[in-house]
Amino acid sequence: MIKRIVSNKIIDLAIDEAQRIKDIGLILKIIIDNFKVVNVIATVSSSFELANELSEPLTGRKYIINLYPISFEEMVKENNLIEEIGNLERRLIFGCYPEIITNPGKEQELLRLISDSYLYKDILSVEKIRKPVLISKILKALALQIGNEVNNNEIAQIAGCDRSTVEKYLDILEKAFIIFQISAYSKNVRNEIKKNKKIYFFDNGIRNAVINNFSDLESRMDKGHLWENYIISERYKYLKNNSKERNLYFWRITQHQEIDLIEEDGTKITAYEIKYSKNSKYKFPKTFTTNYPGAEWQIMGTGLPAYIPVHDLTIHLPTLKLYAWTHGRSAYNISLPQVTGINQISETASEYNLFQNYPNPFNQFSIIQFVIPAVDSRPDKPGYKETHLRETLCLKW
C-alpha cells in the first residue's frame, strides 16, 4: 500500500508517533501549505489519535493508510509459499507483529511487552481511562469468545461494569486496531439472527497474550477458534490492503444452523465454513442454500479433500517452491512430468522453483496438495519408484 502511494516520490520528512508532538496537525498544515512539493509520512498508533490530532487541520491534504499486522499474503511475497506454510503453527500462536516475526524464540516475552505497553499503557493514556483492570477484563472476555456471538450485557456482567462502558471500550479497541466486529447477515428470512455480532482479534498473538496461553496447537482446546480468527482476520486484511470494498458477516438462524463467514460483493454472496481439519465434511444449511440460491460456498480447512497430480496441474501460482522428500531422507533424482505451460524438469535436488512469473488466476492465493511422481535412484534398488506426498495448507479465496 505504501509503495503504491509513495513510489517515485521523495519523502522529505518522516515522523513516528506524531500524536506525541503538541499541535502536530497544525504544524504539518503549515509545512504543507508553505512547501507545496513536500512529502511527509506521519505515523500514529490508532485512529482515535488520528482523529484527535491530525484529521481536521489536514482536511484535503492527507492520504490515510491503515497498517494492520503483517498478512499471510505479504509474508508469501517476502519469503515463499512453502516456508510460510511451515510457519503456520507459529503464526496461529504468536501472530504476525513485525517484532515477533523478526525475533524467533522471543515471542512470548515480546508479546507480553507489546501487550503491557500498548494494550494498556498507551491506550489508557491517550483516552485518559483510569481503570486498566476493567479493560483487561473486557479484553479477556472477548478473547475467550472468539468464534462465538458477543453480547454487550454479558460482557458488562463479566467485567463488572455497565453496558455503555463496554460499548465505549469496544470502540476504543477497534480504533486501536486490536479487534474488529462482523455483524449478522440477514435479508429478512424467517428465523435469521439479525442483531448479534462476533468480535475477532486482528492478531492471534495478541489474543493469546491477553489470556496468557502460548501452548502448542495440539494440546489446545481452542485451536478451532484460533484457526477461525486467523482465517477471518487474514481475509479482512487482504480486502483492506487491496482496496476491495466488500462486506463481511456471519449467518445463523434460531435453530442454531450457522455459517462462519459471509462475504457480500454487490449482489454476489460467498459463504465460507471454517474447519480446523484437513478433510472436513460439511453440508451447508438447507435454509441458507434455499433462500440464497445464487450464493457460492467453500470450506476453509487445513487441506484439500483430494490430491492433484502434477501431470494434471494447469494452475500456475507465482513463486511456489515445491519440495520433495523420501520419507525423511534427502531427495534423490526426481523426474516431474510435463506441466502445462512449463518445460519438463529433471534434476537432482530437494527443491524446485517450478512456477515463476505466471499469472495467479485467484483473487488471493491457493496452496495445493501435490502428488509427486518420483524415481529413487538408490544403487541398492535400481529403478525403484516411489510416490512422495507433500501435504499443504489450503487457503483458497
Stretch (H or E) spanning 335: strand 333-336
Residues 6+ apart with CB under 8 A from 15: 21, 24, 40, 41, 42, 43
Q: Write down the pLDDT at residue 397.
A: 35
| C-beta separation of 375 from 332 below 8 A | yes
Tracing cell 501435490 back to the chain, one arrives at: 370
pLDDT band at 200 (very low <50, low <70, confident <90, very high): very high
Q: What is the model's pLDDT at position 50?
A: 59
Binning pLDDT at 50, 70 and 90, where does residue 304 land? very low
The residue ranking higher by pLDDT, 192 or 78, is 78
- Rounded CA gap, 96 and 93, in Å? 10
- Rounded CA-CA distance 322/340 in Å is 16
Checking 262-265 for CB contacts under 8 A at 24+ apart, the result is 262/185, 263/235, 264/185
Best CA proximity match to 389, nearest among 307, 314, 331: 307
Separation between Cα atoms, residue 112 and residue 119, nearest integer Å: 10
5-35 tens-digit pLDDT = 555 566 678 888 777 788 888 888 888 888 7
Sign for the CA dihedral angle at 283, 286, 287, 289 comes to: positive
Contacts with 366 (C-beta within 8 Å, 6 or more apart), sequence order: 315, 317, 394, 395, 396, 397
CA triple 280-282-286, angle to 5 deg: 175
pLDDT of residue 80 exceeding 90: no
Q: Name the least confident of 131-140, 216-225, 237-246, 275-284.
A: 275-284
Amino acid at 383: G
Beta bridge partners of 261: 272
d(CA 301, CA 393): 8
Residue 279: other Cβ atoms inside 10 A: 12
Please write the tens of the pLDDT for every residue from 317-360. 333 333 332 223 233 233 333 333 333 333 332 333 333 333 33
Domain residue ranges of the chain, discontinuous segments joined by + = 2-55, 72-300, 308-390
Q: What is the mean pLDDT of residues 180-191?
A: 84
Is the model's pLDDT at 219 over the cut of 80? yes
Between 72-81, 311-320, 376-385, the lowest mean confidence (pLDDT) is in 311-320
- Give residue-wise pLDDT tens across range 82-121: 777 778 889 999 999 999 999 999 999 999 998 887 776 6
Q: How far apart are CA 84 and CA 74, in angstroms?
A: 10
What contacts 128, CB < 8 A, 6 or more positions away?
Answer: none
Comparing CA positions, the residue from 143, 120, 138 lying closest to residue 130 is 120
Q: Could you give the CA distance from residue 104 to residue 360 in angstroms, rounded to a whole number?
A: 31
Q: Helix, strand, or coil here: 34?
A: helix
Residue at 41: amino acid letter: I
Tell me the average pLDDT across 306-315.
Answer: 29
Q: If you average pLDDT over every residue of the chain, what do you get?
A: 72
Structure-model confidence comparison of residues 173 and 355, the more confident one: 173
- Total residue count of the chain as it appears in this document: 397
pLDDT at 228: 94
Q: What is the pLDDT of residue 21?
A: 81
Q: Please indicate whether residue 124 or residue 44 has the higher confidence score (pLDDT).
A: 44
Q: Using CA of residue 225, residue 228, residue 230, residue 232, what is the dihedral sign?
A: negative
CA angle at 90 for the pair 176 and 228, rounded to the nearest 5° = 60
Report which secondary-structure segment, H or E, holds 172: helix 163-175
**Bridge partners, residue 248, by sequence:** 263
Neighbours of 60 (CB within 10 A): 4
pLDDT of residue 3: 54
Q: Is the pLDDT of residue 365 over 90?
A: no
Determine the pLDDT at residue 28.
Answer: 81
3-state secondary structure of 254: coil
pLDDT at position 386 over 50: no
The pLDDT assigned to 9 comes to 61
**Are the beta carbons of 57 and 29 closer than 8 angstroms?**
yes
Nearest residue to 373 via CA among 340, 334, 338, 342: 334
State percent of the chain over pLDDT 90. Answer: 30
Query: In the 8-state DSSP scheme, what is residue 370?
Result: E
Q: What is the pLDDT of residue 378?
A: 42
Contact 73, 238 (CB under 8 A): yes
Q: Residues near 226 by Cβ (< 8 Å), separated by ≥ 6?
A: 92, 93, 146, 204, 207, 208, 217, 220, 276
pLDDT band at 260 (very low <50, low <70, confident <90, very high): very high
Between CA 135 and CA 286 the distance in angstroms is 41
Output the pLDDT for position 302: 67
Q: Poorest-confidence range of 87-96, 142-151, 300-309, 321-330? A: 321-330
